[in-house]
Amino acid sequence: MKPFIHDDFLLGNKTARRLYHEFSEGQPIIDFHCHLSPAMISDDRQYDNLGQIWLEGDHYKWRAMRTNGIKERYCTGDATSYEKFEKWAETVPSVIGNPLYHWTHLELARYFDIYDLLSPVTARKIYDRASEMLRSMEFSTRSLIKKMKVEVICTTDDPSDNLEHHQRLKGSFEIPVLPTFRPDNVIKTDDPLKFTLYIGKLGEAAGKHIDSFESLIEVLDQRHEFFHQMGGRLSDHGLDRFYYAAFDYEEVNKIFKKLLKGRMIDTEETEKYRTAIMLELCRMNHKRGWTQQFHVGAMRNNNSRMFRLMGPDTGWDSIGIAQDALKMSSFLNELDNTDQLSQTILYNLNPADNEMMVSMAGNFNDGSVPVKVQYGAAWWFLDQKTGMEKHLRDLSSLGILRRFVGMVTDSRSFLSYPRHEYFRRIACNFVGEEVEKGAIPDDDELLKPLIEGISYNNAREYFAFPR
């Protein structure tokens, strides 16, 4: 009997198998969006055991464990690493159909050459074997990155960050680790006290007191330039939705000063402030030739009790409502109207937005570069087999699959790089099925650049990172 993870895993037809093994397998990885810790890469962290590297900070696993009836002590609490791992092993047989089941076994196979199915029966053996390997220098964070043939890593960083770990990595690690500008905190106005504290922190980072909207923009531009000097070429924006409202700068300045006094602003004022600040940030991206990414549609921190106890990014988020297409169009059009729209990637979390997003991206492609505005990879809750298949189908139907920039890692775990293999197998199977149905010609002059492009080449060309 074949092991679950085998050479032709998820490759359901002859063409798919050929496409994957000839054109996709073994391609390098450009990790242009992740949440890896630059400190851990800088320190070349060594993990003591499989529980540490697999369960620290992984809210995907925590969420599944809670749903399986596992108490919080074994997710984020004071249980030992093995106790937490044991509870994860208890959960895994219950997540069949969930990408966590596929990812778990791909990671065991690719990093540790372990092909046993994880369960309470195999937990001890798998834990001991993988933990022993992790304690060797061949399994330090840097070694894990190199093992997966990663060519560049773009972390996610706040504008107030001094980027000390990125500075330490320059010249000490052969793989570029570049910062990504993530200014989400400047639009989080729902809690004026937290907002004013953050503005103070941002001003300190720039050595400038922020007391007006104009000085806020000056500071953000200064930090943007600092990121640029450190090799940053990407911004990222995690928004519930696109914002757009007519405003004038005098009005926005008054709104901002109201926030600085710790006062709440109303819905109309919020829309105007967020529109203004996002437009200014995007103009900075255009000025320095950056690519901007918009991750939209998450409904975050739904469980207020657990949010108070644990904070953000701990597993209490879900898919939000469908996007307001008019506001998205108006926002992008405002930038395009003055020729200040830089390369842009749009990601959605609600699958109801797929077709709208693909068609929206096409509105702002002006021929200056291939897919100047493009539809990004299936993200978060859509980062699974059916979600990726729908994404590929919608993109190929309404956009240009051949130019798709490909998969994002979007993870805090150093064991997550097989997600790229997962995507590549699904993509090859999707194309292979179309070929065998006669919908796509069985012609390698067409298929080779398609598969190599979405696996690796398109990202390399689109971002033009140093090699």
- Asked if pLDDT for residue 175 goes beyond 90, the answer is yes
Residues 179 and 155: beta-carbon distance below 8 Å: yes
| Cα Rg of the chain, angstroms | 23
Instruction: Delimit the domains of the chain by residue range.
Output: 48-137, 141-463
Question: Which pLDDT tens digit goes with each residue over 263-294?
Answer: 999 999 999 999 999 999 999 999 999 999 99
Inter-residue contact 10 to 386 (CB < 8 Å)? no
Read off the DSSP letter of residue 298: E
E strand or H helix at 374, and its extent? strand 373-375
The pair of structure tokens assigned to 296 is: 């939209």
The angle at the Cα of 113, spanning 108 to 115, to the nearest 5 degrees, equals: 65
pLDDT surpassing 90 at residue 10 = yes
Query: Distance between CA 90 and CA 77 in Å, rounded?
Result: 17
Q: In the chain, pLDDT over 90 holds for what percent of residues? A: 98
Q: Does the pLDDT at position 34 exceed 80?
A: yes
- What rounded mean pLDDT belongs to the chain? 97
Output phi, psi for 234, to 5 deg: -135, 145
Alpha-carbon span 92 to 65, nearest angstrom: 9
Is residue 239 within 8 Å of 294, Cβ to Cβ? Answer: yes
User: Is the alpha carbon torsion for 387, 388, 391, 396 positive or negative?
Assistant: negative
Length of the chain: 467
Alpha carbons 313 and 273: distance in angstroms, whole number: 25
Provide the whole-model pTM. 0.97
Contact 424, 20 (CB under 8 A): yes
**What's the confidence (pLDDT) of residue 2?**
85
> Which residues fall within 8 angstroms of residue 432, CB to CB, at 6 or more apart?
11, 12, 13, 14, 15, 16, 17, 18, 19
* Burial class (CB within 10 angstroms; exposed 0-12, middle 13-18, buried 19+) of 235: buried
Given a contact cutoff of 8 angstroms between Cβ atoms, the answer to whether 410 and 34 are in contact is yes
pLDDT in tens, 134-162: 999 999 999 999 999 999 999 999 999 99
Rounded CA separation 213/281 (Å): 13
- Per-residue burial over 57-68, b = 16 or more CB atoms within 10 Å of its CB, e = otherwise: bbbbbbbbbbee
Q: Give the amino acid at 225.
A: E
User: How large is the average pLDDT for residues 61-65?
Assistant: 97
72: which 2 tokens?
A: 């919080």
**What are the angstrom distances between the C-alpha of 302 and each of 148, 306, 311, 319, 323?**
35, 9, 11, 10, 18
- List, for residues 103-123, the tens digit of each pLDDT value: 999 999 999 999 999 999 999
Of residues 352, 400, 341, 455, the one with CA closest to residue 20 = 455
Residue 401 reports pLDDT greater than 80: yes
Read off the pLDDT of each residue in 370-393 and give the average, rounded to a whole number: 97
Position 431 confidence tier, pLDDT thresholds 50, 70, 90: very high
What's residue 384's pLDDT? 97
pLDDT level of residue 465 (50, 70, 90 thresholds): confident
Residue 171 — very low, low, confident or very high, per pLDDT cuts 50/70/90?
confident
Residue 351 scores a pLDDT above 90:
yes
Cα–Cα distance, 172 to 165 (Å, whole number) = 11
d(CA 195, CA 188): 7
CATH topology of domain 48-137: uronate isomerase, domain 2, chain A (1.10.2020)
Q: What is the pLDDT of residue 467?
A: 65
Is the pLDDT at 14 greater than 90? The verdict is: yes
220-241 mean pLDDT: 97
Tell me how far apart the alpha carbons of residues 427 and 19 are, in angstroms, rounded to a whole number.
10
Helix (H, G, I), strand (E, B) or coil at 204: helix
Residue 242's closest CA among 334, 315, 343?
Answer: 334
Q: Give the architecture-level CATH label for domain 141-463.
A: Alpha-Beta Barrel (3.20)
At residue 1, the pLDDT reads: 75
